[in-house]
Amino acid sequence: MAGTMRLLYLTGGVALVVLRLAAPAAQQPLARPAIDDTAPGWRALAESDFVHVNDEPTTWAWRDGMLVSTGMPIGVLRTSKTFTNFELVVEWRHLKAAGNSGAFLWVPPDALADLKPGTLPKFGIEIQMLDHGYTDQYEKSSGKKADWFTTNGDVFGVGATKFTPFPPVSPNGQRSFPRKNLSHGVGRGAAHRLLVHASRRVARRIPADSGPGGVVES
């Protein structure tokens, strides 16, 4: 399934999250990882572009053109269409501390079939969207150092996905870390912009000099 993608918006059930979504209106070969979502051909994604998979009515809602989630319970939306090469812009904001959400790329249909409520797919590439408060929550609850993830948009393979991350890499070798800390915390500044460039089997956040990414092996 390396040549196809279903894009999912997920939340971990600990905070509200708000997203604005945009993507090119037509699929075209991507020349280089540079994104301008104000250029002709881009459009905002709306409720009609998504299908509910295993969420409850309280999980996701569309309000004033934005996708809003309570995170309760955990639930999955997928795009109604399948994409290959694509670019995507997500503006997102957590409304409570320690929020956990993310976008999944290249998820095959069988990973979504009969997906039980409160669970996430076991295949795909996740671009994680964590609030900075998640680090303190993890360290207090686990008693361990939070050195294997960041709160600035890690990219990593999920479940059975074979994924080779671009450096810098997490200590366990599974995640591609960002080179710059660009995420905003709760109540700090404007919504964070997540830009994604995916071509062939490569997924990378933009800008390339700070955005993590990697190669999907299968």
Instruction: Tell me what pLDDT residue 108 has.
Output: 85
Q: Tell how far CA 147 is from the center of its chain.
A: 20
Give dist(CA 40, CA 85) in Å, integer: 18
Q: What whole-number percentage of the chain has pLDDT above 90? A: 22
Model confidence, pTM: 0.82
pLDDT of residue 139: 97
- Res 204 pLDDT > 80: no
How far lies 18's CA from each of 39, 58, 96, 188, 206, in Å?
24, 14, 11, 14, 20
Residue reference for tokens 């960041």: 150
CA 116 to CA 207: how far, in whole Å? 36
Whole-number pLDDT of residue 11: 39
**What's 136's DSSP letter?**
H
What is the per-residue pLDDT across 53-100, written as a single tens digit (0 to 9) for each? 999 988 888 888 888 888 888 889 988 888 777 788 888 888 889 988
The token pair at 90 is 């997500």
Interval 170-185: pLDDT, tens: 999 999 999 888 788 8
What pLDDT shows up at residue 41? Answer: 78
Band (pLDDT 50/70/90 cuts) for residue 142 is very high
Residue that has been written with the tokens 């994409």 in this structure: 83
Given a contact cutoff of 8 angstroms between Cβ atoms, the answer to whether 130 and 149 are in contact is yes
DSSP 177: P
